Amino acid sequence: MKKNLGLVSSFTLLTTGITPLMAMMPNNSNNIPESSNRRNQGINDQINEGEDKVLKDNLFHDDNNNFYLEEWAIYLSNKSIRDIKIIFNQRSQNSIINIQQLINYILIKLRETGGNDELLFVSKMNPQHQFYNIFFNSIINIFSNPLINSNKGIILLINTNGEINNVFSQDIV
């Protein structure tokens, strides 16, 4: 009973004391420092561009309510996709080097995320493993064709062997 009275009295003090004071304060929205606006813009850009992450053994469904269960789902943000396109389109005498750089870029982005699933996926990416070689060949096919237009990035669904089976936009998630 004492706790209830205490909560009621604190609520009453809050609503009678602070709220009227807040209502009397001038609107300072024009006095927001520009650095704060830039910081908020950066946060909004991150939200609007999707995210970089890996999910393991996750059930995924598309717009048509088709369900997919693949061992790996790699989420790549719009910024990462732009960077990957730059790497992929670099003129090099050896296109294999471009693909290796592309995979290394993806691995760096996933390491930065630092989750358990990301680190487990990165550990499978060894050029001496079959998983890496199959992933290497399937990523060539994905990035040599136009990607899904998306405001938030893409999702690559990868099977147990390392083959990319589906590509989706993060807009549908």
pTM score, two decimals?
0.64
Same domain, 39 and 60: no
Would you say residue 76 has pLDDT above 50? yes
Instruction: Give per-residue pLDDT as tens, 103-148.
Output: 888 888 888 887 888 888 888 888 888 988 898 888 877 777 665 5
**Which among 59, 63, 85, 83 has a CA at the least distance from the CA of 171?**
63
Instruction: Count the Cβ atoms, other than its own, within 10 Å of residue 149.
Output: 8
Same domain, 9 and 60: no
Same domain, 59 and 121: yes
Q: Average pLDDT for residues 51-58, to the nearest whole number?
A: 86
- Domain housing 34: 2-46
Listing DSSP states for 6-31 in one string gives HHHHHHHHIIIIIHHHHHHS---GGG
Q: Which of 30, 46, 62 is the last residue of a domain?
A: 46
Q: Across the chain, what does the average pLDDT equal? A: 73
